Structure 1
Amino acid sequence: MRDKNNFPVIETDRLILRQVTKDDAESMLAYLSDQDVMKYYGLEPFKSIDDALDELAWYQSIFEENKGIRWGITIKEQGRVIGSCGFLNFVSEHRRSEIGFELSKEYWGYGIASEALGAIITYGFEQWNLQRIQALIEPPNSSSKKLVESKGFIQEGLLRNYEFTCGKFDDLLMYSLLKQDYEKDTDKK
Structure 2
Amino acid sequence: MAVLELTTQRCVLRPLTLSDAGALFDIFSDPDVMRYWDSSPWQSIEEANDYIQASKPSLDEPEKLVLGIYEQPEQRLLGKCMLFNIDQDSRRAELGFGISKAHWGRGLVQEVASALIQFAFQEMQLNRLEVEIDPDNTGSAKVLTKLGFSQEGYLAERWIVDGKMSDSAIYGLLARKWRA
Offset at residue 40 of structure 1 (A): 1.1
Distance 2:3 2:127 in 1: 22
Structure 1 unmatched ranges of 5 or more: 185-189
2:69 maps to which residue?
73
Q: Secondary structure at the match of 2:36?
A: coil
**Farther off after superposition, 107-116 or 49-58:** 49-58
Separation (CA, whole Å) in 2 of partners of 1:163 and 1:90: 21
Q: Report how many aligned residue pairs link the two structures.
A: 180
Q: Secondary structure at the match of 2:106?
A: coil
Give the CA deviation at 1:78. Answer: 1.2
| Correspondence for 1:104 | 100
Number of the residue aligned with 1:83: 79
Looking at structure 1, the residues matched to 39 and 58 of structure 2 have their Cα atoms a distance apart, in angstroms, of 18
Instruction: Say if 1:33 and 1:46, in contact at 8 Å, map to a contact too.
Output: yes
What code does the residue aligned with 1:84 have? K
Structure 1 distance, partners of 2:74, 2:91, is 35
Check the 8 A contact 1:161/1:171 in 2, yes or no: yes
Q: Aligned to 2:132, which of 117, 132, 136?
A: 136
1:141 deviates by 0.6
> Which residue of 1 is the match for residue 20 of structure 2?
24
Q: Distance in 2 between matches of 1:59 and 1:40?
A: 21
Once the two structures are TM-superposed, the CA of residue 61 in structure 1 deviates from its matched residue by: 4.3
Contact 1:24 1:80 in 2 (8 A): no
Question: How far apart are the structure 1 equivalents of 2:24 and 2:173?
Answer: 28
SS in 1 for 2:93: strand
Amino acid at match of 1:71: L
Residue 42 of structure 1 contacts residue 166 of structure 1 at CA under 8 Å; is this kept in 2?
A: no
CA distance in 2, matches of 1:62, 1:8: 11
Q: State the one-letter code of the partner of 2:93.
A: S
* Contact 2:37-2:134 within 8 A present in 1 as well: no
Distance 1:174 1:33 in 2: 25
More helix by share: 1
Partner of 2:49: 53
Return the alpha-carbon distance in structure 1 between the equivalents of residues 161 and 2 of structure 2. 33
Match of 1:45, SS?
Answer: coil
Contact 1:14–1:76 at 8 Å: present in 2 too? yes
Match of 2:174 in 1: 178
Residue from 89, 93, 102 that aligns with 2:89? 93
Unaligned 5+ segments in structure 2 are none
SS of equivalent to 1:93? coil
Q: CA RMSD in A?
A: 1.3
Give identity over the alignment, percent: 32
Aligned residue in 2 for 1:187: none
2:116 aligned with 1:120 = yes
1:18–1:72: 8 Å Cα contact kept in structure 2? yes
- Tell me which residue corresponds to 2:2: 6
Task: State the 4+ residue runs in structure 1 displaced beyond 2 angstroms.
Answer: 60-65, 160-170
Shift of 1:140: 0.5
